[in-house]
Amino acid sequence: MFRFFFSRPVEYQVGRTLAKSSFVGGLFLIGFGMLVFILRDIFAFLAAAVFFMAGFSAIGYAIRTWLILYKMKRSDNNGRQNVTIRSDEPFQD
């Protein structure tokens, strides 16, 4: 019954699709490598810009964290705003 739907074995179709995608992926990698080789100054500038922005982002995160910790240290409630703790003690007289 299922031979009608599959003209070839499934393993052959999977292997053929895997081989095609591997070949196309290899061509893309070779093309990207050639592009980087030809335009290395532009890619070096882009990589430097990415690292530069990541550095500023990390410094900004550190400053924000330091400010939050400084504010929590100075406040009396340790950052607990609008929090009430209620407990019903069963053994209360």
d(CA 54, CA 6): 52
User: 43 and 36 in contact (C-beta within 8 Å)?
Assistant: yes
d(CA 51, CA 45): 10
pTM of the model: 0.47
d(CA 55, CA 30): 31
Q: What is the pLDDT of residues 18-61, one digit of tens each?
A: 889 999 999 999 998 898 889 888 888 998 999 999 999 999 99
The domains of the chain are located at 10-74
| pLDDT averaged over every residue in the chain | 81
Q: If you search the block for the tokens 């999977």, which residue do you land on?
A: 14
